[in-house]
Amino acid sequence: MINVSQIKKGIVIDHAEAGHGFHIYKALHLDALSDPVVLLTNIPSKKMGVKDMIKIETDFELNMDVLGLIDPYVTVNFVRDGQVVAKQSLTLPREVTGIMQCKNPRCITNYEKVDAVHFYLVDEEKKIYRCEYCDAYTRFKPE
Ligand code: CTP
Ligand code: ZN
């Protein structure tokens, strides 16, 4: 298997579904960081068969809502001094702010500049959310 170094400090996003790694990379804008980032895809895993993983050697904090939306089953490992000091498992967020865009073309948020639009979860399995302005349903899809 490919050998990738342990990190000294930062975050390891583990147990991402194979194929989700690049979506997570883009959604968290990891390309804009000047810190070291490693994206691993199709890594053999006993639990999952294959998985994706991202290692970020950084001091910055992740947007857990974005991560939970894309892949609620990831494990977030927090590393300090070369050791995993905490593990966080995620869930699909009940509500998100400023992350999603309303699918309704007539929604005010699509023709006026509205910041931080709230969406409320209505269907967990399908990742469908309701817009706070027009009540229309939008299914979350990562870009
Ligand atoms: N890791 C890392 N750098 C460190 C410590 C850990 O890159 N300094 C990575 C490990 O390579 C592993 C992940 O973080 O992929 C989680 O580490 P660890 O909790 O030690 O592994 P497991 O016990 O296998 O995790 P789990 O039980 O969650 O599968
Ligand atoms: Zn709307």
Is there a contact between 62 and 69 (Cβ–Cβ < 8 Å)? Answer: no
Please give all residues whose beta carbon lies within 6 A of any atom in ligand 1, as ranges: 6-7, 12, 14, 55, 75, 77, 79, 82, 84, 87
**Domain range 10-89, CATH class:** alpha beta
**Domain range 95-139, CATH class:** mainly beta
* Cα 48 to averaged position of ligand 1 atoms, centre (Å): 15
Give residue 60's pLDDT band: very low, low, confident or very high (50, 70, 90).
confident
* Cα 3 to averaged position of ligand 1 atoms, centre (Å): 13
Q: What is the pLDDT of residue 117?
A: 97
Q: Please name every residue paired with 129 in a beta bridge, in sequence order, or none if there are none.
A: 121, 138
Q: Which residues lie closer than 8 Å to 141 by C-beta, 6 or more apart? A: none
Using CA atoms, how far apart are residues 58 and 38, in angstroms rounded to an integer?
A: 12
Q: What is the pTM of this model?
A: 0.91
Task: For residue 107, give the ligand nearest its CA.
Answer: 2
Single-letter code of the amino acid located at 55: K
Q: What is the pLDDT of residue 128?
A: 98
Number of other CB atoms surrounding residue 28 within 10 Å: 21
Using CA atoms, how far apart are residues 74 and 56, in angstroms rounded to an integer?
A: 15
Predicted confidence (pLDDT) per residue in 81-111, tens digit: 999 999 999 999 999 999 999 999 999 999 9
Mean pLDDT, rounded, of the chain: 95
Instruction: Give the ligand 1 atom nearest the CA of 53.
Output: 15
* Cα 130 to averaged position of ligand 2 atoms, centre (Å): 8
Task: Enumerate the domain spans of the chain.
Answer: 10-89, 95-139
Q: What is the pLDDT of residue 3?
A: 83
